[in-house]
Structure 1
Amino acid sequence: MKKLLFIPLAALFVGCGSNPKNASEINLDDFKQKISYSLGADMGTNFSNIPENIFSELDKSELEEGFYTFLKDVEMSTDDCREVLSTALGNPSGIDTTDYSRARVSHCYGAIFGEMLRKSLESKNAMDEVNFDIARIGFANSLVQTDTIIPLEERHQMIMDFNNDLNNIAGEDYMVELSKKHESDVQDEGYILIENKAGNGEAIDLSGEYNIVYTMTNISGDTIISTLQSQKLSDQENAQIVNVDDIVFPEAWKLAAKNMEVGGEYTIHTSYDLAYGEDGLQAPNSQSYVIQPYSALTIYSKVLSQGERFSSVKESGAQMLEEAKNQPNTVVDPSGFVLTTLEEGKGNQVNPGDDVQAHYILSNSKGQVIENSYMSSSQNNQPAPSFSLNGVVKGWQLAIPKMKEGGRYRLTLPYDLAYGAQGNQTIQPYETLSFEIEVLKAGDPGTLVKPRQQQFSEEQLKQLQEEFKKQQQK
């Protein structure tokens, strides 16, 4: 592979546990030495996340030896070690040494992280870019001190830059090799489109949605994103409904789709610039990456069928409403919502515009739970949420006043009474929603929710109350 540019850096002294290393033993005076130390230290800091009662029992010298041995020896495998750790660490109270010694457990624990780093380097042809002896010192240092001689923030930035360079170089090499092998399949934009099986002649409609079998892998062949649940299932059972705006479709797929057909099976190889670029793809609400920056990718794609965008969610929503209408103790409101009484309330009737405290479980038309206030309240040690009926979706504004304190209800809302054609971050457009609601308490505006949280003016509230009265008279 192409060699990275090594950048000279100032010499540093490294301390290793109780036996500090001096400049005559190790000098971090170039990029290779410094990144080696940083990678080892980064692996070692993982042990700060394990319970103290377990970490304190580990033999640090065996941890270090296990890490070093499995980092440098490409023939080593941690298969046996995983069994050791599974047995010895099954009890959260500490290390069980009944079957394996403390030294053996410690050695295996270090081995797991040594192999992890080795495989990462191997996947990018970067074993020659790391000095294993220096990585060992970084690992050992991080076991005994929170911040090593290279500060944490500096280490992380260096590792990120290092990985980006490796991803870029490995991706370039990958695409060059494949371009030679599939010369006739290289497209003008630079991606490679291979037709494994011809389609039925129907062109892919980029404005629609697709019932698709789809798998994305990195250049090492590791699956990153996939619709596949099991190889034993049929394509139809493994398929999912998505549209072209879904995050699983990088630019290369959108370009390739112009040359693909429904029913066809295709493989797409692309460099990072037509995939997820310099930024990569991060997991929602997380700093971790689903796809690393500068990553070349391979995509397997088979569109089984296609239709109008959001047609499937509209169909499943209509079915959900019909099923709700057929439940006992159910009222179908002229506005379109369906209200089922699960348990009659004994308390006061909720009034339009009231403040309400209630628990709820929100599900979409596929039956997937999106929000569960019981769970979130329990996890955060918080009471049930309170809200003003002036600040919720229209379906709640109309339906909650038909409920009583202490009652439990199932409310099914068509999309136009929920989040409409726009949806939100967790609810897709045109989604019919089901709420299981337990009304705990209701009160006048401002009694449960601070007035500044209310979102409707007095005039808007009067209009809502008049609309509610008209509906009651129908």
Structure 2
Amino acid sequence: MKKLFFIPLMALFVACESSPKDASEIDLEDFKHRISYALGADMGTNFTNVPEEIFSMLNKKELENGFYEYLTKKDLKSIECRGILEEALSSPSGIDTSKYDMKRISHCYGSIFGEMLRNSLTSKDAMGEINPDVARIGFASSLTKTDTLIPIEERQQMIMNFNNDLNNFAGEEFMRKMSKKHKHDVKEEGYILIENEEGGETPIDLSGEYNIVYTMTNISGDTIISTLKDPKLSDAENAQIVNVDDIVFPEAWKLAAKHMKVGAEYTIYTSNELAYGEEGLKAPNSPNYVIQPFAAVTIYSKVLSQGERFGEIKAKGKQVIEQAKKRPNTIVDPSGFILTTLEEGKGPQVKEGADVQAHYILSNSNGEVIENSYMASSQNNQPAPSFSLNGVVKGWQLGIPKMKEGGRYKLVLPYDLAYGEQGNQSIQPYETLTFEIEVIKSGAAGTLVKPRQQQEQPQFSEEQMRQLQEQLQNQQ
């Protein structure tokens, strides 16, 4: 388990409250000064992403003034400034100063980052833990690239530790307040479960899947994850189908399920230990956090109905298949795929195991487009993709040899001829797939797709093998 870097509490209470005028007066031995400088400098580094031709036009003093003003005045909101920046920065030729001068634009630009830092600290009740004047110096130093007081790696680690500690402290305080307020609803595992609206008598089955209305918020009440499309819509319209393996369900929800009923509405308060712990939750393929490490969360949950896991997607798949069978110019293969001829090809029929060049549009059982090779080829200025029938899903291996070059077809594959019970990164388990395919050309194996070159295995002499074995023995 990672060791937390806890903020020295005495330092927070007795930290020097002096206001340095420049970097030379900052006391880096003082924790409050050190973290304040680091936070300000970190905010200033956002401008390293601004193109130099634009950054050079900005008034650095007004960037600093805007940052400080919106950091220190909680009644200020940057809504007006965001509108000003949108107008000023919308020109492709640079900053448009026809309506607002550079001083105003720069002040607004700085205000965005001052408000961002203030909101972050306020949400954790931590504004008192920093010295705004020192943060201002850090911000200004970063803008002028004179930020040399704290090495960047040390600064980043310090800020991460600081935020983790704040999350931890704020979460603990939040749970103390909620436990005191709802003392009869605290469960032995530590989470709090409140029934807001009664439901039926059917218990939640963790082995099934749920048609659920679900919202998760942080301790400030900001929505993190939600099924809600529009608060004006009904529960049924806002619900989604998920099962307990979905990442949206932390351990607290799974523990609470033994007390919950279908149709009832609940609120769950949980500490980070039963939520996403010290790792937090990152967005897919991104370094950004959806849920911060050590964060407590609140969950609002209402299971409208439940059933067999993947039952909904199987049912939708059967509907897609039955509808496909009714189309004209359609064959139903004994293996299970359905092939509709949209436009008869004039070329030769594709042979089994052949190489094929084709465009395709892939849709799931909800009719959502998952892949579109026309669009991908256009964006990347590439020809239609080529593939070997020996390296594709079973349904393509069986269905494409029924097609002719130059033709357009619709191929519907039940899950057992597609990606099966496991699915893949973009396709759910048990998903029925629909492909609209345009066959451009085909050829014998190896004519359109080059076989992958097998990596040559390194060859060792007897002497080299003996030396390797000796090295391994010496390491033991």
Q: What aligned pairs does 1:57-456 form with structure 2 within 5 A after superposition?
A: 57-145=57-145, 149-452=149-452
Give the direction of change, closer, same or farther, for the CA distance of 1:91–1:167 in structure 2 (3 Å limit): same
Is the deviation greater in 323-332 or in 261-270? 323-332
Query: C-alpha distance in 1, partners of 2:68/2:364?
Result: 50
- Give the aligned residue type for 2:189: E
Give the direction of change, closer, same or farther, for the CA distance of 1:347–1:45 in structure 2 (3 Å limit): farther
- Give the aligned residue type for 2:124: K
Query: C-alpha distance in 2, partners of 1:332/1:149?
Result: 73
- Give the aligned residue type for 1:243: N
* SS of residue matched to 2:259: coil
Q: Percent identity?
A: 72
Aligned-pair CA distance for 1:45 = 2.1
- Give the aligned residue type for 1:314: K
Query: C-alpha distance in 1, partners of 2:289/2:126?
Result: 20
Query: C-alpha distance in 2, partners of 1:384/1:145?
Result: 48
Match of 1:5 in 2: 8
Query: C-alpha distance in 2, partners of 1:293/1:78?
Result: 28
Asked if the contact 1:6–1:30 (Cα under 8 Å) also holds between the matched residues in 2, the reply is: no
Give the direction of change, closer, same or farther, for the CA distance of 1:321–1:177 in structure 2 (3 Å limit): same
Give the direction of change, closer, same or farther, for the CA distance of 1:345–1:124 in structure 2 (3 Å limit): same
Query: C-alpha distance in 1, partners of 2:10/2:419?
Result: 54
**What is the Cα-based RMSD across aligned positions, in Å?**
2.1
Query: C-alpha distance in 2, partners of 1:299/1:442?
Result: 54
Superposition TM-score, scaled by structure 1 size:
0.88
Superposition TM-score, scaled by structure 2 size:
0.88
Asked if the contact 1:45–1:142 (Cα under 8 Å) also holds between the matched residues in 2, the reply is: yes
Q: Where does the alignment leave 5 or more consecutive residues of structure 1 unmatched?
A: 9-19, 455-474
Give the direction of change, closer, same or farther, for the CA distance of 1:329–1:122 in structure 2 (3 Å limit): same
- Give the aligned residue type for 2:328: P
- Give the aligned residue type for 2:315: E
Q: Where does the alignment leave 5 or more consecutive residues of structure 2 unmatched?
A: 1-5, 12-20, 455-476
Is the deviation greater in 239-248 or in 138-147? 138-147
* SS of residue matched to 1:258: helix
Aligned-pair CA distance for 1:238 = 0.4
Aligned-pair CA distance for 1:196 = 0.5
Give the direction of change, closer, same or farther, for the CA distance of 1:131–1:375 in structure 2 (3 Å limit): farther
- Give the aligned residue type for 2:7: L
Match of 1:463 in 2: none
Aligned-pair CA distance for 1:147 = 7.4
- Give the aligned residue type for 1:43: M
Question: For this pair of structures, how many residues does the alignment match?
Answer: 440
Match of 2:458 in 1: none
Aligned-pair CA distance for 1:298 = 0.2
1:63-92 CA-partner distances (Å, limit 9, x unpaired) = 111011111222222122122122222223
Give the direction of change, closer, same or farther, for the CA distance of 1:378–1:155 in structure 2 (3 Å limit): farther
1:234-254 CA-partner distances (Å, limit 9, x unpaired) = 000000001111111100001
- Give the aligned residue type for 1:325: K
Asked if the contact 1:192–1:268 (Cα under 8 Å) also holds between the matched residues in 2, the reply is: yes
Query: C-alpha distance in 2, partners of 1:337/1:36?
Result: 64
1:255-309 CA-partner distances (Å, limit 9, x unpaired) = 1011000010100000001001111111111110111111100000000011111
